[in-house]
Structure 1
Amino acid sequence: MSKPKMLVVFGTRPEAIKLFPVIRALNDTGAVAVRTCVTAQHRGLLDQVLAIADLRPDRDLDLMEPGQTLDRMTARLLTGLGEVMDAERPDRVIVQGDTTTAMAGALAAYYRRVPVSHVEAGLRSGDVLHPWPEEINRRIVAPIADQHFAPTETAANALRRENIDPGTIHVTGNTVIDALLWTAGRIAADPSLAAGLDGIAGRFAGKRIVLVTTHRRENFGAGMEAIARAVARVADRSDVAVLFPVHPNPNPNVVSVMDAVLGDHPNIALIEPLDYPHFVRALGLCHLALSDSGGVQEEAPALGKPVLVMRETTERPEGIAAGTARLVGTNEDRIVSEVFTLLDDKDACSAMARAHNPFGDGHAAGRIAKLVAHGR
């Protein structure tokens, strides 16, 4: 008898990071046949993760287009993934998180009556415009999936409130912690994997590094301009340096605003996006993280780094409740004040750094693989 076929669908760097431990764990079970399909919603950033994880996708739709609208991307994803499913005829489709790829993958599977497993299920901000469009993407996947792998009990409770069958909800932890710890171990064994930051580490020796990432659509415009001004004021301190990998978002607002405001500042390194090993090392080097990213809210606490979240809401309230993260919005003065507090108040910074990380223990992928393989 042939093994059940699992089709794992992903398209962005965060999906790849959070799914490569699942793919490895599924293969280790020996009970299922694993096939992978990438949409390349993020081409370059996706390929970086595929390389470090030694993953070679079975199908690559390569759907990224410059200036692509969400509706055009959704249509192309839906038809392209549908064609892959018709050819592969999987017994189950596995999607992750909140991307347009995850939403379209779940919908294409539903149209073919193929069951869906959702990794990182149940995250909710309660605001359909923050994060946008991710909040709605998750809500579309939820009623389709028949396996919900919630990273925390809070996420599981959100699903229960939406009348998702409690028997289909499993609290597993977040696979990003699996990926982070695995990658950190690789770097420890082979420092050359992240040696590209040696120059910056030397340049900023003796300074406390603030790691900045920003790319959210809802921050485009005035929000991004305020973030840039705040970062410049932080970098004006002689004891601080800013490491800022600029996300290659197709909206020119991100790169142009940051270049205009921050490009010539001696205490700021505006650099190309980091591959995952270098990003993990950057987290290790920094004193704190200033970010609007969802993943950083989970990753930084695993390495004992406080996170200031430049958003008005978060679908990861567990970090706020645990004290590992703090919402600061996009108000320039508020951002600067909160960063200075962590720089100047040792006790406040230590309290965030020592707080328990609520997002997992590094064994989520194994739990998920066992549940998928046994069809629970």
Structure 2
Amino acid sequence: MTAPQRILTVFGTRPEAIKLFPLIHVLEADARFDSRVCVSAQHRGMLDQVLEISGVVPHHDLDLMTPDQTLDALTARLLTGLGAVMDEERPDWVVVQGDTATAMAGAMAAYYRKIRVAHVEAGLRSGNIYHPWPEEVNRKVIGAIAALHCAPTETAAEALRRENVAPSTVHVTGNTVIDALHWITGRIAREPNLAGGLANLEARFAGKRIIGVTSHRRENFGGGMEAIAQAVRTLAARPDAAVIFPVHLNPNVRQVMNEALGGLENVALIEPLDYPHFARLLDMSTLMLTDSGGVQEEAPALGKPVLVMRETTERPEGVIAGTARLVGTDAERIVAEATRLLDDPDAYSAMARAHNPFGDGRSAGRIAELLAAA
């Protein structure tokens, strides 16, 4: 009998955990694999929330988060810490996701040991190494190393082929974030209390259309954040609308938003939400304003238009399909585009009903089959 392949899945942030727990579930249930999990805890609290709700128990927890650490210091600690875990585990594959420092360092540590790397959500490209920063370079580094590229869409797969990645290693699997969203919405349907913490806000804003907002990108710090805050303030002045804004812990976000939006009747500045409550926010919102990557994928799965407050996106499929629109950080444009969706039913319907290009909820199974066949 052939020994099971040992798969070491490495991640450190909440978005990575969300996109990898469906794959971990599949690997753990399949006798062809010996699944091992290592977390860096690049985002400690938000990561732990997803681990708890998904039932994933790491075999290794590096707990590397320290206040105000520089990217180079974090990368150095990741590289040596993850390398030590790989020396202990001796996996057949290292699985990384996306474009974080943890993913990049995990791929590098595996490369130094000649361990094959599988990259989940491979091939995203904005074409600008400073937008998003440092994620664009992180994912290009992983793309140069990986032996298996699990592209979420054909657009992402084609980006890899243009970089001369061997076509035989590139596979369109869909995005596991849709698997995760289906899983969590199913849980909430069975256990409503999992996302019951927004009930007071639902009651407070009853009869109003909810605008969900998330913002945290480094390239928007400073003037960009101030413009986003100004736009949200203007939209919140509408009598028929209300804003729910889980505010990122970074002081570059918190200070700006608290000063500009604190105390407004139609704005709820709340703490970052755990995964069930964020899924509930998506579901109850009329539209989303975001500079996040993941929201561009998740909101369309629930029929919610997304206005992307960035100059570029590595997820052009949503823009092409019509589920998302790039609006940058100009306050007037953000307000104009949101107003159009709120006031023009046809414009809203065109975005809400557009086909979601990011997956069908069966991506994790496809990735597991690729690992088994490799």
TM-score (norm 2): 0.99
* Correspondence 1:212 to 2:235: no
SS of the residue 1:18 aligns to? helix
Shift in Å, 1:230: 0.6
Match of 2:33? 32
State the one-letter code of the partner of 2:132.
P
Match of 2:265? 266
| Aligned equivalents of 2:327, 2:88: Cα separation in 1 | 47
| Aligned equivalents of 1:122, 1:370: Cα separation in 2 | 20
| Aligned equivalents of 1:6, 1:173: Cα separation in 2 | 20
| Aligned equivalents of 1:180, 1:374: Cα separation in 2 | 27
SS of the residue 1:29 aligns to? coil
| Aligned equivalents of 2:27, 2:173: Cα separation in 1 | 15
Match of 2:229? 228
| Aligned equivalents of 1:42, 1:262: Cα separation in 2 | 26
Indicate the percent of aligned positions where both proteins have the same amino acid: 68
* Correspondence 1:179 to 2:180: yes
* Correspondence 1:160 to 2:161: yes
Shift in Å, 1:177: 0.2
| Aligned equivalents of 1:248, 1:89: Cα separation in 2 | 36
SS of the residue 1:266 aligns to? coil
Shift in Å, 1:373: 1.8
Match of 1:287? 286
* Correspondence 1:339 to 2:332: no
Match of 2:171? 170
Shift in Å, 1:71: 0.5
SS of the residue 1:121 aligns to? coil
SS of the residue 2:235 aligns to? helix
Shift in Å, 1:87: 1.0
| Aligned equivalents of 2:31, 2:340: Cα separation in 1 | 51
**Gap regions ≥5 residues in structure 2:** none
Shift in Å, 1:374: 2.1
**Gap regions ≥5 residues in structure 1:** none
Match of 1:354? 353
| Aligned equivalents of 1:231, 1:94: Cα separation in 2 | 38
| Aligned equivalents of 1:335, 1:4: Cα separation in 2 | 49
Match of 1:138? 139
State the one-letter code of the partner of 1:299.
E
> Do the aligned partners of 1:26 and 1:373 also contact (CA within 8 Å) in 2?
no
Shift in Å, 1:355: 0.1
> Do the aligned partners of 1:29 and 1:370 also contact (CA within 8 Å) in 2?
no
Shift in Å, 1:2: 3.3
SS of the residue 2:278 aligns to? helix
| Aligned equivalents of 2:368, 2:27: Cα separation in 1 | 5
Shift in Å, 1:29: 2.2
Spell out, residue by residue over 1:38-58, the C-alpha distance to the aligned partner (whole angstroms, 9 max, x if none).
Answer: 000110110010011011100
State the one-letter code of the partner of 2:330.
N
* Correspondence 1:6 to 2:2: no
CA RMSD of aligned residues (A): 0.6
State the one-letter code of the partner of 2:310.
R
Shift in Å, 1:31: 0.2
| Aligned equivalents of 1:27, 1:76: Cα separation in 2 | 28
> Do the aligned partners of 1:130 and 1:218 also contact (CA within 8 Å) in 2?
yes
Say how many residue pairs are matched: 373
- Deviation beyond 6 Å, 4+ runs, structure 1: none
State the one-letter code of the partner of 2:189.
A
State the one-letter code of the partner of 1:344.
D
Spell out, residue by residue over 1:234-292, the C-alpha distance to the aligned partner (whole angstroms, 9 max, x if none).
Answer: 0011100000001112xx21000000000110100000000000000000000000000
State the one-letter code of the partner of 2:178.
I
Match of 1:84? 85
| Aligned equivalents of 2:265, 2:120: Cα separation in 1 | 42
Match of 2:125? 124
* Correspondence 1:248 to 2:220: no
Match of 1:105? 106
| Aligned equivalents of 2:312, 2:216: Cα separation in 1 | 15
Shift in Å, 1:17: 0.2
| Aligned equivalents of 1:186, 1:91: Cα separation in 2 | 33
